[in-house]
Structure 1
């Protein structure tokens, strides 16, 4: 196999890895945020006097949950544009 073919295989494998990373990150964030917001709304309905604190904690937690997909997308961009595996 020549070097051009090896690079093409690495690029295709990197693209599949990027697709898998982005899909997993989006799915995980969607499920996590849905569960988090649902439980927070349940808590606010049970204890309306604490709804301000619960809402603030929910917003902070949603920000933390969303930070993981952003890091995954950065890794994906590195795999696409600055692939360390290409010779």
Structure 2
């Protein structure tokens, strides 16, 4: 099993995070799990999609956004690419 972390971010400002996700690949099967918080209701939302690209297609119809992959090499514990300051401010939706 392999995992790869990603963010769905504003197309204009990568610090505006819409969702945080993880794409999971096992043999020939692939899924992406996303987490986001609705900015109006503050409700936590989890979603499952066929891939990170599919999640982008789904949510990209709401707002112009792009997919940003975390590059950690083989270190599955890596969170160095996480824009933690944006998350702490609550900019992730």
Please state which band the TM-score falls in when normalised by the shorter chain: under 0.3
Which structure has more relative contact order (CA 8 Å, sep 6+)? It is: 1
Q: Which structure has greater strand proportion?
A: 2
Scaled by the length of structure 1, the TM-score of the pair is: 0.27
What's the TM-score once normalised by structure 2's chain length?
Answer: 0.26
Structure with larger Rg: 1
Greater helix share, structure number: 1
